[in-house]
Amino acid sequence: MGVVRTGSGAQAEARNNSRATVRPAPRRREQVAQVIVHLIALAPLAFLVLDGLRDNLTANPIQTITFRTGKFALALLVLSLACTPLNTLFGVRMALKWRRPLGLYAFMYAALHFLTFTVLDYGLDPVLLREAIFEKRYALVGFTAFLLLIPLAITSTRGWMKRLGKRWKRLHQLVYIAGLLVIVHYLWLVKADRREPLLWGAAIALLLALRLAPVRRAVAKVRGRVLARPEAN
């Protein structure tokens, strides 16, 4: 009997050791995923700086910088909006940890976009800026979207979440309005081919629709059926 107990004890210890080696794996995957998110978000800025150092920003560098920073801000904003549906509908809990950095990077590029417009393009001239913002509708809409993103970036920390309580979630719903305003800004800015801003708009509309309760329930049912098929077989 003593030999049997020793064997079972050894097996239990082996199982515990194997669990100890397996448990950190998800954490490592999360850490690797976080690093990848930061690299993806910073890569456009790195390429932009590299192109600037190589004098490879076309014949109109200010326009190129303005366009690219705006595009990066929009792309990262859409990715940040995709994080919640990835978690609620598809069970990718890791995506919730991506939402904040992606949102902050989107704000960073939006700030660079705004600074390029105000500083490099208009030299911080108050008269010219007032005329540009209030006489050009695309500039006014873009400026409004940027103003909406400022309090969201400031209150993105856990400390602000605790201070604001339920009001924090209501405040951060402004990101939906900001996203739609960015699409309007893009549409009014583009004079010829509007297919790209319309595609971005469709993506934002889909991500907002996935937050609606009836859509969530429908997607959850479909997902449940798909996951249940292998078990039935």
What was the pLDDT predicted at 16?
A: 52
Closest alpha carbon to 138 in 116, 117, 109: 117
pLDDT in tens, 159-182: 999 999 999 999 999 999 999 999
Looking at residue 231, its pLDDT comes to 53
The residue count of the chain comes to: 233
Q: What is the mean pLDDT of the chain?
A: 87
Q: What is the pLDDT of residue 182?
A: 97
Indicate if the pLDDT at residue 12 is higher than 60.
no
Residue 22 has pLDDT above 50, yes or no: no
Q: Cβ(80)–Cβ(95) under 8 Å? A: no
pTM: 0.84
CA 209 – CA 81 distance, rounded (Å): 11
What percent of the chain has a predicted confidence (pLDDT) above 90? Answer: 69
Question: Residue 17 — very low, low, confident or very high, per pLDDT cuts 50/70/90?
Answer: low
Q: At how many degrees (to 10) do helices 24-53 and 2-22 cross?
A: 20
Please give the pLDDT value at position 90. 83
Q: Is the pLDDT of residue 222 over 50?
A: yes
Q: Is residue 180 within a helix (H) or strand (E), and if so which, with residue range?
A: helix 174-189
Range in 25-34, 149-158, 178-187 with the lowest mean pLDDT: 25-34
- 219 or 162, greater pLDDT: 162
d(CA 45, CA 47): 5
Per-residue confidence (pLDDT) for residue 15, from 0 to 100:
55
